[in-house]
Amino acid sequence: MTLRKGFLNTFFPSLSSVNAPAPEIAALNRITYGPVPEEIEKVKKEGLASFIEEQLNPKETDNEKLSAKLSSATLQIRYAEKDGAAAVDESRPLNLLNASIEELWKLNNKEMMLNYQEKVRPLEEVRAASWLRAVYSKWQLREVMVEFWHNHFNVNASDQKIAIVFPVYDRDVIRKNSLGNFRAFLEDVAKSTAMLYYLDNFTSRASPANENYARELFELHTLGSDFYFNNLYNRWRDVPGALNGKPTGYIDEDVYEAARAFTGWTVADGQNLGKDKFPDTGQFYYYDGWHDNYQKRILGNEISPNQPALSDGHLALDLVAYHPATARHICKKLCIRFISDEPSEAVVNGAVKVWTQHQKSPDQIRQTMSYILNTKEFTSTWGKKVKRPFHLMASVFRTAQAELTPNQGLTGQLSQMGYYHYNWQTPTGHPDRMDYWLSSSNMLARWNLANGALSVNPNNRMATYNFISQMPAGMDKPADITNFWIEHILQKPMPAAFTETMISFLVNNGKADQPISQDKMNNKVSSLITLLTMTPDFQLI
């Protein structure tokens, strides 16, 4: 077997260096959705640490390019005539990104009989905006963090009600807290209409309570399954530390009790209970008539009966947010995202220390990120991960300087690669393990992606390109063109054999020194760049 493998390797000589780029470039590829030349220049001039510091402190007002893109962007909406409502086929601006929940909730009004397309429009606008932000925002790290938290606090917006309120979830819950305080973040999530629907807490009432939210709060949002000890202990008092109010982990009894604490945390959805009628605003609503008001014990802490409204739930959130297991779970997850699938204990411990020190600070997450991004491990572990599909696709657009016109087709492209853009089904979010993204089906889709996305054919509805304008004036020799794009896209030197292969691909039976005419240039370059994005050097991060 080995003989044969050796033979094949000489037959198909290895062309890829798969060497790490410079540490700054490696870092930029993780902080951004693929660095653009200005960012590389900036880091060369001012240093990586200063760039990280700036990225950790985004300024809303300083983001002109993105603002212009967001205000000029349009997204198609199309549906046939139905039940007397007229057909619609128009390009509409992204009007709903800043809408309040009351405005959005009107889409849910049954009497208006709105078409399904109108109801999922808020979600579609957030999807479109997420592309524009990833590609054009100056504050790249913030967008990377927003993606991280969307995945951590996953909701599946295939549910129409969640689609309707999705701009609020994205804006006032995820985006608002992405570099903030975790305890505050957790409460915003717990009270968000999206999460109340997703994990069913909106229906939870005494008794038995609906356990869905409470269980995932422990297992996924906070302590994590490494600290779920149900297989070891049947009674709360048996968990080590529980009798002192400091159990090392949790069991089902904690889940049951926490579920009771959140009974009555629901949505103002206008339902009529006979004696009471909920307002119809779509906002968070506490209904005391459903709350289980008796004493509870969560993580070894007793809660007295008959507490004021919301107090049981707030206390439950304190207990999980400040638990040491939560610090470890979240910090490890951040290190896995930013460093490697198996980060060292040392870097996780360091992050836990910062996280815990700042657990009451308004910028707890920023402080923790500042620690992680300034470790040596952050810049020295290139190649330990592959780009997630959203990252891969955004980096294709960024590196080729696309004029992007996001449309619904992009969501389908992502799902081909195993990435479900705000519609991953389970509350785990996507796995953050390299092998998940590398099934044969996902691999194929990763290669096929650029073939459509980088097309200069007028049928490409996603983006347009002008490659010539990015190249030095008058450049027309295949070798020069190839070297220019290798440097531009892979941002590191490549072996001569690799470059040779790319040159012969570009000239395709022609002569290697024959200039490429201007009228063929965009097409030729498009194919070359497509191939470059298929290389391991572009796929890895």
- Are 234 and 212 contacting, i.e. CB atoms less than 8 angstroms apart? no
Write b or e for each residue in 206-240: b if 16 or more Cβ atoms lie within 10 A of its Cβ, otherwise e: eeebbbbbbbbbbbbbbbbeebbbeeebeebeebe
Instruction: Choose, by CB under 8 A, the member of 207, 311, 349, 518 that binds another protein.
Output: 207
Site for another protein in 518-537 (CB under 8 A): 527, 530-531, 534-536
- Are 135 and 144 contacting, i.e. CB atoms less than 8 angstroms apart? no
CB 417, min distance to another protein, A: 7
287 interacts with another protein by CB under 8 A: no
CB 540, min distance to another protein, A: 7
**Three-state DSSP class for residue 327:** helix
**Three-state DSSP class for residue 52:** helix
DSSP 492: S
Site for another protein in 129-158 (CB under 8 A): none
Site for another protein in 4-43 (CB under 8 A): 4-5, 8-9, 11-16, 18
CB 447, min distance to another protein, A: 6
CB 536, min distance to another protein, A: 6
Binding mask 451-470 for another protein (x = CB under 8 A): xx------------------
CB 339, min distance to another protein, A: 17
Q: Burial level of 459, CB count in 10 A (0-12/13-18/19+)?
A: exposed
- For 189-295, list the strands marked E by DSSP: 265-269, 280-286
CB 341, min distance to another protein, A: 10
- Are 462 and 411 contacting, i.e. CB atoms less than 8 angstroms apart? no
208 interacts with another protein by CB under 8 A: yes
211 interacts with another protein by CB under 8 A: yes
CB 538, min distance to another protein, A: 10
Instruction: Choose, by CB under 8 A, the member of 220, 303, 354, 369 that binds another protein.
Output: 220
Partners of 250 in the β-ladder: 228
Q: Looking at 108-116, 124-132, 217-225, 350-358, which segment touches another protein (CB under 8 A)?
A: 217-225
Q: Looking at 82-90, 204-212, 358-366, 476-484, which segment touches another protein (CB under 8 A)?
A: 204-212
445 interacts with another protein by CB under 8 A: yes
Site for another protein in 327-386 (CB under 8 A): 386
Q: Choose between 268 and 386: whose C-beta lies nearer to another protein.
A: 386
Two tokens, residue 422: 């705000």
Q: Looking at 164-172, 223-231, 239-247, 368-376, which segment touches another protein (CB under 8 A)?
A: 223-231
Site for another protein in 241-260 (CB under 8 A): 252, 255
496 interacts with another protein by CB under 8 A: no
Write b or e for each residue in 331-368: b if 16 or more Cβ atoms lie within 10 A of its Cβ, otherwise e: bbbbbbbbbbbebeeebbebbbebbbebeebeebbbbb
CB 70, min distance to another protein, A: 31
As a whole number of angstroms, the distance between CA 407 and CA 410 comes to 6
User: For residue 132, what is the enclosing H or E element?
Assistant: helix 121-136
User: For residue 92, what is the enclosing H or E element?
Assistant: strand 88-93
Q: Looking at 137-145, 228-236, 306-314, 400-408, which segment touches another protein (CB under 8 A)?
A: 228-236
Binding mask 389-428 for another protein (x = CB under 8 A): --------------------------xxxx------xx-x
Helix axes 364-373, 182-190, angle to 10 degrees: 120
Cis, peptide link before residue 207, omega less than 30° from 0: yes
CB 328, min distance to another protein, A: 15
Instruction: Choose, by CB under 8 A, the member of 79, 278, 436, 484 that binds another protein.
Output: 436
As a whole number of angstroms, the distance between CA 238 and CA 251 comes to 10
- Write the CB contacts of 12 (distance below 8 Å, at least 6 apart in sequence): none
Residue with tokens 């370059």: 525
Q: Choose between 210 and 367: whose C-beta lies nearer to another protein.
A: 210
- DSSP string covering 274-319: SS-B--EEEEEEE-GGG---S-EEETTEEE-SSPPTTHHHHHHHHH
311 interacts with another protein by CB under 8 A: no
442 interacts with another protein by CB under 8 A: yes
Interface residue list for another protein (CB under 8 A): 1-2, 4-5, 8-9, 11-16, 18, 199-200, 203-212, 215, 219-220, 225, 228, 230-231, 234, 252, 255, 386, 415-418, 425-426, 428, 434-436, 438-445, 447-448, 451-452, 501, 505, 508, 527, 530-531, 534-536, 539-540
